[in-house]
Structure 1
Amino acid sequence: MSDSIAAPVIGLIGGSGTVGRTAALRMSAAGLGSLRIGGRNLDTAAAVAEECAGEAEAVRLDLADETNLEQFCCGCSIVVNCAGPSYLVLDSVARTAFSVGADYVDIGGELPAADALRAADTARDRTAIFSAGAMPGLSGLLPRLIAGDRPLRRLDTYVGGVARFTELSAADGLLTRGERFGESMASMQDGQIASNSVPPLHDVTLPGFPRPVHAWPYLTTEAQSLGALPGVAEVRSYNVFASDRLSRAMAHAWAQLPASPDHAELAPFIPSIVEATIADEDEFGSFYIMLFTGRPAQGHPRGTTRVVLRAEDSYGLSGSVVALAAEHILNGRVSPGVHLAAEALDPSYTVERLRVDPLVHELMVE
């Protein structure tokens, strides 16, 4: 009798939301392993498990209960976290996963969580990927298709559209400021941050976007890493909105919040953020576009100068990216250590997989 190798067990946290459900369906369809879907509501987790193509079970999970979380992670080959908010989770779930011998993928976290896990130094032979979503994640990965083969005098990124925020996404959005997240109105020039160097664009027509939009310069830390790539002279990064409702609501909240607000301080501002996104969706419908353009340095070949991705929404797209990050780890594509998705995933392979994803309406590389 030949020995059989047991299939990996994938622990999926937050599987009943849009992101988690998409991740579950993608991972089960790809045959990555059996799924253990955790959530506070066992019925909704069970409903997702029933949709999966392969083996999947629902398990009641409370992230705030450390014992419950450890029991959930035990026996998993990898733990995939689609729950939030990121500012509360940080690296706590990753540390629990590492402690029981599991690798880890998180849709959020960004630099604060990655840095905290690196500092903890809990398991040198384990692998973690943070920011495995649409933005951050794809927003830093796809531009590498443009930046990889010759010097660029400029690389521009435009990401956004219209999508209804949940309360959790509104809270995370309010917290994406400060030096560990980015700087408004800034660009990267010759590897250095150039403050107050880029004006906002109003009612601008951009390739791939269905209507004129407002593009607000925000140099994320992810965009800053693009500016550090060899041969990239300048990077400009924009968040794109169909109207100024959301940007006004965010600016109003930021003007009154302290530098490091807690949940109680955020709570009064969350409804206005959610309402702004609902009003935009009612007026314009929903759409989500990623546009990346590159201008080669003089005397160098044109190469790839534009990438456009049109998707159903950022939430489902993020679920597909989370699943791809888990696949990268399970297939040995990522070395042990703590990584950000934009730097760890293979851009060409990701494009290949996303082109056949039903949530992606168009993915053009030219």
Structure 2
Amino acid sequence: MTNQCATVAVYGAGGHTGRFVVAELLRRTIPVIAVGRDLSRLPSDVPGKVAAIDDPAALDRAFAGCAVVINCAGPFLDSADPVVRAALRAGCAYLDINAEQASTQATLETFDQPAREAGLAVIPAAGFYGGLADLLASVLAKGDTVDELTTAVALDHWWPTEGTRKTGERNRVARVNVDDGKRVPMALPAASIEWSFAAPHGAQSVVEMPFSEIITISRHLPVRQLRSYLGANALGDVRHAGTPAPTAVDQLGRSAQQFAMDVVAVGANGTRRASARGQDIYAVSAPLVAEAAARILDPSFARSGALTLGEAFDARDFLDALMPDHLTVAFTPV
């Protein structure tokens, strides 16, 4: 990295997930600057700066002297491009928690060369959607060409945040899957299948619902067919206007939501499954992105360009660092 300062700027620090990210960085004793559009909404226990996405000069001032920028301000179709550009101008690596396919793809394609020239890493979709599945798939696919790879997510509830609802309204871009090694538009209506998760989720109906993991996985893994599914009950929750926002139930501010993510790979080495379980998909994005930031800050980190979590880091080692405090992960033959 060109910038040796250890400070991390969190853009969108006043949002639901942004506050989890600030708290996780502080737990790791990593210096933090909170950045957002409204100073009154930013965490009061760290320095705060005001910058809007349409104010390049303010973004430059906010990120000056930092080493990493973590973008938590969705919709990323609007925020990613200006924040990445400002991060690179400031000599900062970039991370975000993007679940949007179009934004993730645009970031990877647009900023690979500029990031390489700057000697910096740009890593979109480093949270629950996009990042976690990419890490699990990277372990399963190591040394193998995968004929079929399937991800399935179970949530006992999905209490959507304000940011999730805004992103859903903004993101009308057609979703894609992978067939014959190429990204193709998802067929409509969305397919529904039965999936058997481990307890407590068990067998349930899941609906085809690809997020940014389609982009992150297909970016660097030789996968011929890739599909993603989400529990039908969770999809119903997030689509219902009356579903409440998440409510904290523990000292960490997490909701009671329990999640499971399965990734199944079929290839020359047989059928293998990776299963991750934990609490609160918004909260777990914080240790994922904070672990990435900590590794980027390590003087031995030398990767540059636009990357995914599975490309940038040793996936198994990365997952091991999150267990058992944030995740439980198991790898089994099927």
TM-score, scaled to structure 2:
0.78
Aligned pairs, number: 315
**1:223 corresponds to:** 214
- Name the CA shift for 1:176/1:61 in 2 (closer, same or farther; >3 Å): closer
Cα 1:122/1:229, change in 2 over 3 Å: closer
The answer on whether the counterparts of 1:13 and 1:80 sit within 8 Å (CA) in structure 2 is yes
Q: AA paired with 1:70?
A: D
Identity within the alignment, %: 20
Matched position secondary structure for 1:83: coil
Counterpart in 1 of 2:57? 67
Structure 2 residue corresponding to 1:166, chosen from 143, 161, 165? 161
Structure 2 counterparts to residues 1-366 of structure 1, below 5 A: 8-31=6-29, 33-47=30-44, 49=45, 56-108=46-98, 109-118=103-112, 123-161=117-155, 162-174=157-169, 176=171, 178=173, 182-183=175-176, 187-189=178-180, 193=184, 196=187, 200-202=191-193, 204-208=195-199, 210-219=201-210, 222-223=213-214, 226=217, 232-242=223-233, 245=236, 249=239, 273-276=240-243, 286-297=257-268, 300=269, 305-331=272-298, 332-333=300-301, 335-357=303-325, 359-360=326-327, 362-366=328-332
Distance 1:141 1:314, change over 3 A: same
Kindly indicate whether the alpha-carbon contact (under 8 Å) linking 2:13 and 2:72 is maintained by their aligned counterparts in 1.
yes
The verdict on how the C-alpha distance between 1:225 and 1:69 changes in structure 2, with shifts beyond 3 A counting, is: closer
Distance 1:147 1:194, change over 3 A: farther
How far apart, CA to CA, are the structure 2 residues paired with 1:231 and 1:98? Answer: 30
The root-mean-square deviation of aligned C-alpha atoms, in Å, is 3.5
SS at match of 1:237: strand
- Unpaired runs of at least 5, structure 1: 50-55, 250-272, 280-284
| TM-score with structure 1 setting the length | 0.72
Contact 2:13 2:43 in 1 (8 A): no
Evaluate the alpha carbon distance shift between residue 141 and residue 277 of structure 1 in structure 2; reply closer, same or farther with a 3 A threshold.
Answer: farther
Q: Contact (CA 8 Å) 1:7, 1:34: kept in 2 or not?
A: no
User: CA offset at residue 176 of structure 1?
Assistant: 4.9
Q: 1:242-278 CA deviation, whole Å, 9 max, x = no partner?
A: 266258x4xxxxxxxxxxxxxxxxxxxxxxx543576
Larger Rg: 1
Letter in 1 for 2:309: A
SS in 2 for 1:132: coil
Which 5+ residue runs of structure 2 have no aligned equivalent?
247-255
Distance 1:301 1:37, change over 3 A: same
Q: Distance in 2 between matches of 1:124 and 1:343?
A: 18
